[in-house]
Chain A
């Protein structure tokens, strides 16, 4: 039997506001336990929530970014359950009337194709605190710093078909939210967490199978593996004629498997009802329009534009538009050197490679975009070869200045003066009479190899600065 997998992702995104969604506590990561937990966050008697304007702003921004309907009258609800990381005994969330309705956005796959994935809704809610399992004489310690951090829960339609698409979706989402500057979307730090809903059905069927939910997967790689493992697990069961149990599971990275969650809310009745301490959030068209005007060019639009305007492949355009700073950087490079293809190559391979090796972010890159553009210009105008350019780039990285400054200081200017080159060539020819003889007696293949030898000698004699194209042309003349 051929099975197809039906996958929906629920992403919990921490919004990058300064203060929490319902209290004025700070949201900075990594503070000492419970130093960012106010009386409201601790659910002390008599405490009440007040809604952070920026959280609403960011949610609407996201909604506009996915072309969604904005809920002009959204309601907060209490989601009731008991757990130590949820001090009120309920989480304030949104149930029937979320702030963002149906939307969609485009994802880019490694093979260059694109797909549109539907978003069912996105709503605002508060994050829970953390249980630390370091043993305190058989007890767990609860840190409520994170309790109350604003979350946007983004629910996709079950449009995703495999692990690759899932990862592409998450990458595209990360891109979008960083473009919009509403979150740093960092899975490793927990500012973007993913729950996976996955079921299988016979290929071509239109009914949904029973799904399992895999909670809190915190890296692209783990999402990929968890889905792959779960597809295998479920198809094994179904092949054997068994049924899938609808349950919540966890991905165990060490064992590379999913297993059922032991405790938390077993068959929970959340008893949702409108939060009486908060009033309906009403926003008008003017508010929405104002935000619309502040939206940057979105990743998908930028990617399409790059592919068209710069003649780039979908894949290259994707890489270069992954973040706004990178896209902006690239465009400055192109504006400076006027060659998109070379610029694309240099940015993707040399620049990103170097940043990666040194674990540096683009924000801390020592080579300004215009300077890289300047370097490429010098390749294009023949001042230096591609090979020398790499040396120059390294020097620029070390802070030796612009491309011109380095070329000047190190005397790396490519020798393209035919007179000078002829001089060097004449010396090389004179110095290697045997090889010259072999060349004259050789066939075409062997001649190519020998030419390479002579070119190498010329390059050596010129300390790599001879213009290789010219050397080739002149050698051809001289050796004829």
Chain B
């Protein structure tokens, strides 16, 4: 295995006047290729800020960050923007699709921005929409799509440049329970294809799609455990049936 994300002593402070708030306060973490990691913690613990730091949407005040074999913490904004398009797929709670573009145009946009030909970008976008079960919505504008469909399109867009890592911030935060179930299933499929994933969430079901769970409190990671190796399938079923006290 090789490390995809490596952070050491990562810090991000907020607040100009008065006492600065340490949103992220000295985080060390390594995410390996093919690993699915979730980050949970109470509101305000710094988990979204940490995700933004990992994806270059915010810059750290201290600490080092590597993506693949590149050191990125000191990079210029222009270099970061190039790297972000190629290496990182973002999925947000509020979808952040471009309202004036159709579903397929939203998905192919990041491919066009890195110089993929129109024809290849379109083909790949259609393939992804098919895989995510929304190919029949390819020509629709976002305002004609349901929440679950919007998040599928956003996930297709995140995957189009075959990113090193997908970073998702509360991906089911705006979805009803049916759409949440669909998105959970897609994340499980992504995990099974060895796509490296980092999921920030307060939904235990989203967190449980990952095999590793980090817990944040007050800007630091206080717990880092593996979720696999839990009770056996038989034990879970027996308990469910009430055959075990």
Partners in one complex: no
Residues of A within 8 A of B (CB): none
Residues of B within 8 A of A (CB): none
